[in-house]
Amino acid sequence: MNQPIRILIVDDHPVVRAGLRGMLSSQADFEIVGEASDGAECLGLAGRLNPNVILMDLRMPGMDGVTAIQHLRRSFKGIFILVLTTYDSDADILRATEAGATGYILKDAPREELFRAVRTTAAGQAYLAPQVATRLLGQMRAAERENLSERELEVLNLVAKGKSNKEIAGQLHVSVATIKSHLLHIYAKLGVDDRTQAVTAAIQRGLIRLETSD
């Protein structure tokens, strides 16, 4: 028989910890090995209890969740951290994932989703709640958009409309050589080799949209 997933619950609210313990204990393959009220207590228990998964709140008095995650990633290789929090702001998501969290789920998630997230995390696989994944994807697209200058986006939109370098140069009142230079920069930033690939990649990433006629 497979060993149960050993879980350490970290949250500064006793009622939340009790609720999680009761919920998770209903699963035969889960074993709650301990509880901690902040990051510092979590670090002390992690070494003694050897959990497979730590359910980590983010905002706690004393040592917060992100700081605890950073320490855990440096000290324990076989422990995976599943962030369980009420916070879904871009800053919170990025800080937790960059610190080394394996998964990120919100406290209002259905219990079956929580169970699935714990099992996925215990296997060492990343788990992101759907709404969190959507926000991260939006951030990636925004970063890519910022990576292309306004002029480069303008050139790319005209390329998508089928304009030649000469036509784009005329419309933007610059030289053909300047357009070629913009295109080379666009190719490098998008990781592509030609105009068609650049347009395809830009559309897929939401950087530009093809205009359709009625």
Give the CATH number, domain containing residue 20: 3.40.50.2300
Q: Is the domain of 115 the same as that of 195? A: no
Q: Is 209 contained in some domain?
A: no
CATH number of the domain enclosing 153? 1.10.10.10
Rounded to two decimals, the pTM is 0.65
Residue 206 confidence (pLDDT) = 79
Boundary of a domain, candidates 97, 112, 138: 138
Residue 214 confidence (pLDDT) = 42
The average confidence (pLDDT) of the chain is: 88
What is the residue range of 123's domain? 5-138
Q: Is the domain of 96 the same as that of 159? A: no
Q: Is 211 contained in some domain?
A: no
Q: What is the pLDDT of residues 27-37, one digit of tens each?
A: 999 999 999 99
Q: Is the domain of 56 the same as that of 111? A: yes
pLDDT-derived band at 212, boundaries 50, 70, 90 = low
Distance between CA atoms of residues 209 and 163, nearest Å? 15
Q: Is the domain of 157 the same as that of 116? A: no
Q: Is 214 contained in some domain?
A: no
The tally of domains found in the chain comes to: 2
Q: Is 153 contained in some domain?
A: yes
Q: Is the domain of 171 the same as that of 82? A: no
Q: Does residue 1 register a pLDDT over 50?
A: no
Q: What is the pLDDT of residues 141-152, one digit of tens each?
A: 665 555 888 899
Residue 147 confidence (pLDDT) = 80
Q: Is the domain of 15 the same as that of 82? A: yes
Weakest mean pLDDT among 47-56, 119-128, 143-152: 143-152
